[in-house]
Chains A and B, each alone.
Chain A
Amino acid sequence: MSRPQGIRTDKLSLWYTKFQALVDVSLEIDHGRVTGLIGPSGCGKTTLLRSFNRINERIEGVRIEGHVHILGDDIYAPEVDLVELRKRVGMVFQRPNPLPLSVRENVLFGLRVHVPRGELRRDELNHAVESSLKEVGLWDALKDKLGQRATSLSLEQQQKLCIARLLPLRPEILLMDEPCSALDPSATQRVEELIRELRDRYTIVIVTHNMAQARRISDECVFMLLGQVIEHRRTEDLFLSPKDERTANYVEGRFG
């Protein structure tokens, strides 16, 4: 069965000044699935994820070779508009990073940045807030607290809000970098549920160092080591019958 392509990288290499953090990464990530990125700390998971929306470029001394195609378009082509790219490829970070604004303004921030003032009608804004918060399951808890500062919410709510914040821009791809690592187990469980609910509508790439989590939520899994992709298969297959010895060692917890 062939699915439309979400992300394809072609011999992608990335250097931080002299240090090579990604080595010839060639990957195909299907659209409309959850793909887990696993591997020991420092193997380049975050770096790879951040090269999918070109956030890495803001770091001094970063050099990139190779190609990344998202939904068929080469995002490192010269004519690519970063603003458009980042609208379609949203990112959730390891630590929740709501802006120091109200809940409502956090959700609307993307729209405010992209649509000229005056073209935003109040009922449209209200609708965007309501539907985004509903989609992440925060509406009932927060509908009476839309004016509250987002930074005063619980970490779980903050992280969900950070996901909600991406939705008004109608992204197609959601990148998540260890989105649960700052959360307690029950909050983690609820965020995982949310990710499962979102999986049909978006291509989700999630970095995790938690193997059990990767098994629970991902359809496919990519195992990385020292900047290279070692194995990329259906999650069950990768965990039950890894082809590469290093994958086997890692998923069985012999190093990591």
Chain B
Amino acid sequence: MNSERLISFRQVSVDFGERTALDNVSVLLDQKRIAVIGSNGSGKSTFARLLNGLASASRGEVRVHGIDPIRQARLLRRRVGFIFSNPDSQIVMPTVAEDIAFSLRGRGLSRTEVDERVSRMIQTHGLSHHENSAAHSLSGGQKQLLALSSVLVSEPQLIVADEPTALLDAANTRRISNHLLDEMPQQLVLVTHDLRLAERCDTALWFDQGRLRRCGEPRAVIAEYERSHP
């Protein structure tokens, strides 16, 4: 096992009042690209949100690269970047450059260093002509590229993406998914309904009504998932 990128869940459950969103999940993951699939309401987002402390376990123990996501939240958030499906609610600053720079606040970097890192991100993600544009005037795909830039600029070691391509057209889906799956050196947890993307990962987790139904080689897991949902 690669302990540098070990994610471990030990008998983790998450309750929302009466409802159990995750039910006694135990798993050890050290693959680079991890897919999470399952039908609506099966607990995928809850699983993803546990990884960066946006949700907390009602029972059991979660460790991400050896860190407790709740108790060591500050440390963890520097290692884990999160991409949501709605690009609109991820934009926190008025312009593209300002939004990317916002992720570097409070890290003690000099202004030139921040500017340098921001412009590198803007170039890599094809946003060069939009540096000083209003972030909200971008198209959906461009906004998602911006969200990705804003996350990657702080150089996290793990990226958690919750249906990052749900609102994108085919071309933008290809662009974002190629970046996440092939170009980026970081570890990735990808929650998706797009089984072709899941197939490109190194391992797949299938959630069913809050339980981890299967975990393993993506093709095998997807085949079984498809058989159970004819």
A and B found bound together: no
